[in-house]
Amino acid sequence: MFSDASLGKFLNKKQFNGNIYVLPVSLIFNRTFLILSICLHAWTAGLADSPRTNSNQLQTTAAIQEEEPAPRKFTSEEQTNINVYEKSNRGVVNIDTRANRQQAWFLEPQSEEGSGSGWVLDKEGHIVTNYHVIEGADVVTVSLSASSNPFTARVIGIDPQNDIAVLKINAPQELLFPLTLGNSKTLKVGQKIFAIGNPFGLARTLTVGIVSSLDRTMRSKTGRLMKGIIQIDAALNQGNSGGPLLDNEGLLVGMNTAIASLTGENTGVGFSVPVATIKRVVPQLLQFGEVRRASLGIDLFWKTELGIGVARTQENGPAFNAGIQGFKIERKLVRSGNRLFETIEADRNSADRILAIDGININSTDDLQEALDRYKPGQEVVVSVLRQGRELKIPLRLGLDR
């Protein structure tokens, strides 16, 4: 048993000026109870203020974390767009060019850079683009979708008259994704088409539109009339030149070549070389490096009301050897005062006028070019000519246009 004094010493004691004061036991218990009550109240309040997590919240959080994203639903039109792009975009390439020009005054080289689009023709690394994309370039590089490193290209062949060029790069076959050629002859105005290119350097950009018109004509840089051009309203801008025009199956039906614009930016009127022309031209570029066109061997023509007049034939050329006649040159002496001068005059009445080739009417040099494009050098044709009021049919073997 503890005495009151020993219990006071054990529970609480204070020393003041050498005296020890013992607190009463009842006071100690009252204070202890008060402290415990305060602590219990604070702990209870803390639980009430803190956010509570119940079992429902835990289940909801787990469901959100584990739930797989629902597959996105596309309209049939959207799905077509996606399918065409996924099938074709890897076959579209970016083409960069650099031309070194010498300044006239300081004789220092100045570099000019350009860019455009193109597409993979085959696994051998042949790339097709517009001639005007690589015209005058000293260095041409091609960037593929599957490689971060560009490939230096060499020019295999060009056809300025149809604005077509073929390049060659040495790239692994697994990086090349050739596009499949379609049919431009079955296109209809109003059908959906797709253009992929690199406008403003933005690689493999897809734009969608319709065929606005068919069989348009336009002049190439050589002045030759290109026929069968496809007009589209899909957005084309600088850098789209040389990119493919595709149908809703992802088949190439044309190559984008020009826009009708005063500012050089899209106005909703674009033009594409039809794949029918590409199929005719590209094999010759691969084989010969040029298009070997058939020729009558006539250097100069003149416009008449009926057919086109023959001004001058090439010596020993097809027309010359077949007896087709050009101008007769007459030399005359003309007196002026006391002097005589020799003049040369062309007698147009003696010249033949070409009316048709194998029954195809010829009314202009454009008609003549279109007719000759149907033939190859060495083939025989029948040329209908008008000579001094009489129509003659003259057979001849076509030569090579040079």
Name the nearest CA neighbour of 88 among 200, 208, 259, 201: 208
Interatomic CA distance for residues 193 and 181, integer angstroms: 14
Q: At what angle do helices 4-11 and 25-49 cross, to 10 degrees?
A: 30
> How far, CA to CA in Å, does 59 sit from each of 37, 51, 54, 248?
37, 16, 9, 47
Interatomic CA distance for residues 353 and 372, integer angstroms: 17
How many residues are given for the chain? Answer: 402
- Using DSSP, state whether 179 is helix, strand or coil: coil
Interatomic CA distance for residues 309 and 327, integer angstroms: 9
Interatomic CA distance for residues 353 and 362, integer angstroms: 10
Interatomic CA distance for residues 7 and 12, integer angstroms: 8
Helices and strands (H and E) in the chain: how many? 8, 24
Name the nearest CA neighbour of 126 among 158, 155, 149, 96: 155
Q: Return the active site residues.
A: 132, 163, 241
